[in-house]
Chains A and B, each alone.
Chain A
Amino acid sequence: MGVASGAPRVGVVTFPGSLDDRDAARAVRLVGATAVPLWHGTHDLEGVDAIILPGGFSYGDYLRAGAIASLSPIMAEVVTAAEAGMPVLGICNGFQMLTEAHLLPGGLIRNDHGNFICRDQRLRVENTSTAWTSGYAAAARDRAALAGTGDGPGGSGAAGGPGASGTAGRSGTASATGDFASSAASGAPEITIPLKNGEGGYIASAETIARLEGEGLVAFRYLDVNPNGSMNDIAGVTNARGNVVGLMPHPEHAVEPGFGPDTALAMRSGIDGLPLFASLLASLLPA
């Protein structure tokens, strides 16, 4: 859906217990869109062009993570808008809400090792044709054009396939500022963004997993280590239409030099989350 004029308006919903709503709003502003704070207790989407459900611990994870928030008044509007094609992104707790609201398949359970995990996590962007991931394809093309042969610092990351254990990629293949690695084998962009959750184990029925894999609906996959027992190393999924995307890691925490993950170039210089928000801008603005 195009926007007639002005910067796209992106709503960020605050629930009781949301933590990363302001971070998400900041990421939205950094790519030039307008962040619109939305409140869980209303039915008012305030005419936004896209919606982000942020991370946190809505309702203290009571009942199930995201379950009670998925019944909030505003979620009825979010579901209707998502079904009409509006871009909706769920990060961490927001991803849990999207599965609870049946906008995305599967569910999230407690990490298999039982511990809360907080780390900079390498991911492969498996699907770069969604409203929220197309920017990774564009950024990868720019990078290849700049680098010529494109044999960048992340080339060695291709050695570890999905689920490959080991520590090789933990520090050595961190991406450069405003730039990221791509697998030499598949060309799929590889990024490093923070991951922090206690209930991030993605599960679904065997049929659902087969469908996700068969139809290319796995949007993000964990690299190097599976941090929480997710089936098929799945870190994020998209719906078939590509407007609804959910992921456990936090792109909004890797959008500004000085505050992101460490990279090979400098401490905390990683901004691999930025293309995700830029993707949205590209999908909203008329071509």
Chain B
Amino acid sequence: MPTIVVEVMPKAELLDPQGKAVAGALSRQGRSEITGVRVGKRFEIEVAGPADDAILAEVAALADELLANLVIEDVISVHFAGADGFGLDAAADFASGNVTTDTSFDEASTPEAQAEIREGLS
């Protein structure tokens, strides 16, 4: 059963109060080499069926629609767990070959998703 990882970050140009608070705490710990922190979200989504581009595209569309609010966040990455060596099923995915390094879906690749992004920003 493949696991798809979706990563979401607050938009770069917007203030990230969570990250600011963490950075402040680190600086109070004396970690002066750390100059900034931004906090985002990682979703690990289990799907039934084959790990193919179709399901990746489906989850990518879902990410734009629900997992992220494109007004305030960006979908940074949509990929199979294992492609980055992390995630619940990474080991199993590698063992079964259920892994892709195809990151072409990391950007909204369907016309619908792109239209949605434009709409979200308008």
Contact = CB atoms under 8 A, between A and B. Distances in A.
A203 B66 contact: no
B122 A109 contact: no
B18 A106 contact: no
Residue among A67, A109, A114 with the most chain B CB within 10 A? A109
B86 to A, nearest CB: 21
Contacts of A201: 15, 17
B71 A106 contact: yes
A192 to B, nearest CB: 26
Contacts of A111: 17
Given A107-B69, A109-B72, A203-B72, A208 B15 contact: no
Interface string A106-138: 110111111000000000000000000000000
Contacts of A107: 69, 71-72
B121 interface: yes
Contact of A207 (B10, B14, B119, B122): B122
A106 B71 CA distance: 6
Interface in B63-101: 66-67, 69, 71-72
Interface in A75-116: 99-100, 102, 105-107, 109-114
Contacts of A106: 71
Interface in A221-259: 229
B115 interface: no
B31 interface: no
Interface size class, chain B: 10 to 19
A67 B71 contact: no
A171 interface: no
Given A67-B66, A71-B66, A109-B10, A203 B71 contact: yes
B20 A229 contact: no
Q: What DSSP secondary structure best describes chain A's contact surface?
A: loop
A90 to B, nearest CB: 15
A257 to B, nearest CB: 37
B21 interface: yes
Interface in B12-52: 14-15, 17-18, 20-21
B89 to A, nearest CB: 22
Given A100-B69, A106-B71, A107-B71, A207 B121 contact: yes
A114 B71 contact: no
Interface string A200-225: 01011101100000000000000000
Given A203-B71, A207-B121, 9 more contacts: A100-B69, A107-B71, A107-B72, A112-B15, A113-B17, A114-B21, A201-B15, A208-B122, A229-B15
5 cross-chain pairs, A with B, having the tightest CB-CB distances, nearest first: A107-B71, A107-B72, A110-B17, A114-B17, A114-B21
Interface of A: 63-64, 67, 71, 99-100, 102, 105-107, 109-114, 201, 203-205, 207-208, 229
5 contacts: A99-B69, A205-B71, A205-B122, A208-B121, A229-B15
